[in-house]
Structure 1
């Protein structure tokens, strides 16, 4: 499991990291990442893209299995980050929260989340109580429950989204607009980024990059929505534009949430499983906040 080891700040190379690297710029336009770095990231993306695409296309149990594995790995990285800081987080509790959230997504009529969350809170607290050691067990308990519910609860919305009548189009829209927004943010932020967006958490993110993310999200949303409308009558260009705008707003929030965690524990990446991109948590931070927003928008449209 050493491949999941979080990288401390200063261990890795700089440049484009993927979803969490948007809006780069430290008071002046940034130089491009070196060719070896970009080549590594492009190779990783070329390997991952077909896997993600096939899982989304298949839907059903294959997509569920893919999402559960991704959430489980992200949860493992979450636990290792906080343990590295000395907090006794529990992988079992985090994974239980992930399983609970995905179970509720698959069987919403069973009311698993409401009943299961109460059981998880009580059982996990009891586990820490009876295994009490001096230190920070209460913080470890709170982090474990929060990590499982946050990662599992948000990522499971992709399963809910895929289960909609036009779920394939909606998931594709959510993924592609997020990546287009991140790309637009990176490119414009690198070119003209000067005004920092959130300097205390992520000094490299700029307001100019945020504008680039909006442009990328709108372009991708409009095109994908129009194509989906042409092929299946789903979404349409106007709704695609709306989703693109929403994604450009909420995706950076997801990125900054995970950046806050990493800054707290003093690591650059949540792991090193994906060469050039960091860990799964790094690659899904923006998507976690995008999925529930796109799902709610689809439900508002009557899906």
Structure 2
């Protein structure tokens, strides 16, 4: 046993070397997990699109079901709003299927019937807050499955997989361009009370990259497409993607939450990935139908 003398410093036990924390991007997300999940989702999407394209329809249906569950669960937890989940999931799957196999008229009819089913299903509960609950249910039916139905209608075209690739890439480029340019050059806040991280410079970068991607892909992979059509499509997609992101940020701020769920490590929930995709889908579908037919 060592001896100590007055004036000697008391030895300090060796401390274990600190372990490096997983890298995180802005917002406190785990970057490695986010990349891994993103690559996994991309592989599922590509495999389902180009092996048997109808398989991608089931990916959309699953996303609709989980997204509806996330949104209604958060509404119940934070605001005690009880939107009926069963008719929303059943009706949502029906909307997507109708959009793929029968077109927009049948999808709209499925939306109307889903709204009626929500009203009837809620009648089994006491009448207090009936109007509030069915309003939230109808909103959920429109926001999640009906907007996702336009993805199914893009898929139904002969070149459906190519249209989905175009839709996904211009939307992703909008987010990527906005992040990269905003991080480097962002100075002027776009909507500080809704999403403090977004800047006008970032928005310009997102629009520019999305327009570039749209021009290249419209010329190369869409039958009858031209580069100038891609510029228009990419610009419109970037604007709607940004508005969709801001819209969900408004919902989450009202609910007092950061993410809609925890299903996707590094990303949050399904709805946190669909926020920009959902409102962009009808815009891209409409422009493609106008430019090259549906």
Uncovered stretches (5+) of structure 2, i.e. residues with no partner: 1-22
Structure 1 or 2, whichever has the larger Rg, is 2
Structure 2 residue 255 is the aligned partner of structure 1 residue 265: yes
2:185 pairs with 1:195: no
The yes-or-no answer on 1:89 pairing with 2:75 is no
Q: Superposition pairs for residues 1-303 of structure 1, below 5 Å?
A: 15-16=25-26, 37-85=30-78, 86-108=80-102, 111-132=105-126, 134=128, 136-228=129-221, 233-303=223-293
- The size of the alignment, in residue pairs, is 270
Q: CA deviation at 1:227?
A: 2.5
Cα–Cα, structure 1 residues 218 and 119, in superposed 2: closer, same or farther, change >3 Å? closer
8 Å Cα contact 2:214/2:234 also seen in 1? yes
1:65, 1:240 → 2: CA distance? 28
Distance 2:287 2:152 in 1: 15
Tell me, yes or no, if the aligned pair for 2:88 and 2:114 is still in contact at 8 Å. Answer: no
Structure 1 residue runs without a partner (length 5+) = 1-12, 18-32
Is the alpha carbon distance of 1:114 and 1:188 closer, same or farther for their aligned partners in structure 2, counting shifts above 3 Å? Answer: closer
TM-score by length of 2: 0.84
3-state secondary structure, aligned to 1:301:
helix
CA distance in 2, matches of 1:214, 1:89: 36
- Alpha-carbon deviation of 1:16? 4.7
Q: Which structure exhibits the higher relative contact order, with contacts defined as CA atoms closer than 8 Å and separated by 6 or more residues?
A: 1
Query: How has the CA–CA distance of structure 1 residues 214 and 121 changed in structure 2, closer, same or farther, with 3 Å as cutoff?
Result: closer
Distance 1:234 1:58 in 2: 24
List per-residue Cα deviations over 1:8-34 (Å, max 9, x = no partner). Answer: xxxxx98457xxxxxxxxxxxxxxx7x
C-alpha distance 302-200 of structure 1, shift in aligned 2 (>3 A): same
Q: CA deviation at 1:167?
A: 1.8
Matched position secondary structure for 1:204: strand
Cα distance in 2 for residues equivalent to 1:220 and 1:114: 31
Root-mean-square deviation over aligned CA pairs: 2.2
Q: Could you tell me how far apart the structure 2 residues matched to 1:238 and 1:118 are? A: 37
Paired residues of 2:84 and 2:122 also in contact (CA < 8 A): no
TM-score, structure 1 normalization: 0.82
Contact 1:218 1:244 in 2 (8 A): yes
Contact 2:153–2:285 (CA under 8 A) maintained in structure 1 = yes
For residue 96 of structure 1, report the CA deviation from its aligned partner: 3.1
How many angstroms does 1:279 deviate by?
A: 0.7
1:90, distance to aligned residue in structure 2 (A): 1.8
| Contact persistence 2:210–2:237 (CA under 8 A) | yes
Aligned counterpart, 2:11: none
Q: 1: CA distance between counterparts of 2:94 and 2:143?
A: 11
Separation in structure 2 between the aligned mates of residue 286 and residue 214 of structure 1, nearest angstrom: 13
